[in-house]
Amino acid sequence: MEDLESLWNRLVAHERQTSLLTSIVSILSWDERTGLPPRGAEWRAEQLAYLAGQVHQRRTSTELGDLLERLRESELAADPHSDRGATIARLKHDYDKERKLPQRLVEELSRAEVLGQQAWVEARAARDFARFRPSLETNLRLRREQADATGYESNRYDALLDSYEPGETTENVRRALSDLRAALLPLLARVRDSGVPQDDSILHGDFPVDAQRRIGRRAAEAIGFDFERGRLDETDHPFCTEAGPHDHRILTRYDAGGFAQAFYGTLHEAGHGIYEQGLRSAFYGLPPGAFVSLGLHESQSRLWENLVGRSRSFWEFLYGEVRQAFPAALGAIGLDSFWRAVNVVRPSLIRVEADELTYNLHIIARFELEEALVRGDLPVDELPAAWNAKYAEYLGIVPPHDGVGVLQDVHWSAALFGYFPTYALGNLYAGHWFEAAQRDLGDLDAMFRVGDFVPLRRWLNEHLHRHGRCYLPPELLQRVCGQSLSSRPLIAYLNAKLDRLLDRS
Q: Which part of the chain contacts Zn ion (CB under 5 A), choosing from 158-166, 298-306, 402-410, 485-493?
A: 298-306
From CA 259, how far away is CA 459, in angstroms rounded? 30
Q: Which part of the chain contacts Zn ion (CB under 5 A), choosing from 116-124, 218-226, 297-305, 449-457?
A: 297-305
Closer to Zn ion by Cβ: residue 265 or 489: 265
Closer to Zn ion by Cβ: residue 298 or 370: 298
Told to judge if 435 belongs to the known catalytic residues of this protein, a careful annotator would answer no
> H/E/C letters for each residue in 14-32?
HHHHHHHHHHHHHHHHHHH
What DSSP character marks residue 316?
H
| Alpha-carbon distances of 249 from 17, 20, 144, 155, rounded to whole Å | 21, 17, 34, 37
From CA 14, how far away is CA 5, in angstroms rounded? 14
| Alpha-carbon distances of 401 from 273, 327, 332, 426, rounded to whole Å | 36, 39, 39, 29
Closer to Zn ion by Cβ: residue 85 or 230: 230
- Position closest to Zn ion via CB: 301
Q: Provide the CA 253 distance to its chain's centre, in angstroms.
A: 17
Q: Which part of the chain contacts Zn ion (CB under 5 A), choosing from 106-114, 133-141, 296-304, 317-325?
A: 296-304
Which are the contacts of 27, defined by CB distance < 8 A and separation ≥ 6? 243
What is the smallest separation between the CB atom of 262 and Zn ion, expressed in angstroms?
Answer: 15
Q: What is the CA radius of gyration of the chain?
A: 23
Closer to Zn ion by Cβ: residue 169 or 422: 422
CA proximity to 431, closest of 208, 121, 183: 183
Phi and psi angles of residue 296, each rounded to the nearest 5 degrees, phi first:
-70, -40
The residues in 141-200 that bind Zn ion, with binding defined as CB under 5 A, are none
Phi and psi angles of residue 293, each rounded to the nearest 5 degrees, phi first:
-160, 160
Q: Which part of the chain contacts Zn ion (CB under 5 A), choosing from 27-35, 119-127, 292-300, 494-502?
A: 292-300
| CB of 419 closer than 8 Å to CB of 411 | yes
Closer to Zn ion by Cβ: residue 168 or 305: 305
Closer to Zn ion by Cβ: residue 191 or 251: 251
Sign of CA dihedral 214, 220, 226, 230: negative
What is the smallest separation between the CB atom of 301 and Zn ion, expressed in angstroms?
Answer: 4
Q: What mask, x for binding Zn ion by CB under 5 A, covers residues 16 to 35?
A: --------------------
What is the smallest separation between the CB atom of 272 and Zn ion, expressed in angstroms?
Answer: 6
Quickly list DSSP for 32-56.
HHHT--GGGHHHHHHHHHHHHHHHH
What is the smallest separation between the CB atom of 479 and Zn ion, expressed in angstroms?
Answer: 24
CA proximity to 19, closest of 101, 91, 109: 91
The answer to whether residue 301 forms part of the interface with Zn ion (CB under 5 A) is: yes
Q: Which part of the chain contacts Zn ion (CB under 5 A), choosing from 69-77, 138-146, 291-299, 325-333?
A: 291-299
What is the smallest separation between the CB atom of 362 and Zn ion, expressed in angstroms?
Answer: 14
Quickly list DSSP for 180-201.
HHHHHHHHHHHHHHH------G
What's the half-sphere exposure (Cβ side, CA atoms, 13 Å) at 43? 6
What is the smallest separation between the CB atom of 397 and Zn ion, expressed in angstroms?
Answer: 24
Q: Which part of the chain contacts Zn ion (CB under 5 A), choosing from 98-106, 293-301, 458-466, 493-501?
A: 293-301
Closer to Zn ion by Cβ: residue 298 or 356: 298
Closer to Zn ion by Cβ: residue 285 or 426: 426
What is the smallest separation between the CB atom of 230 and Zn ion, expressed in angstroms?
Answer: 16
Closer to Zn ion by Cβ: residue 165 or 298: 298
Q: What mask, x for binding Zn ion by CB under 5 A, covers residues 350 to 389?
A: ----------------------------------------
Using CB under 5 A as the binding criterion, the count of chain residues that bind Zn ion stands at 2
The catalytic residue among 168, 269, 356, 370 is 269
What is the smallest separation between the CB atom of 177 and Zn ion, expressed in angstroms?
Answer: 18
Q: Which amino acid is at 284?
A: Y
What is the smallest separation between the CB atom of 353 and Zn ion, expressed in angstroms?
Answer: 15
What is the side-by-side strand order in the sheet with 230-234?
230-234, 248-252, 240-242
Helix H or strand E segment including 423? helix 421-441
The answer to whether residue 293 forms part of the interface with Zn ion (CB under 5 A) is: no
* Residues labelled catalytic: 269
Q: Which residues of the chain form contacts with Zn ion (CB under 5 A)? A: 298, 301
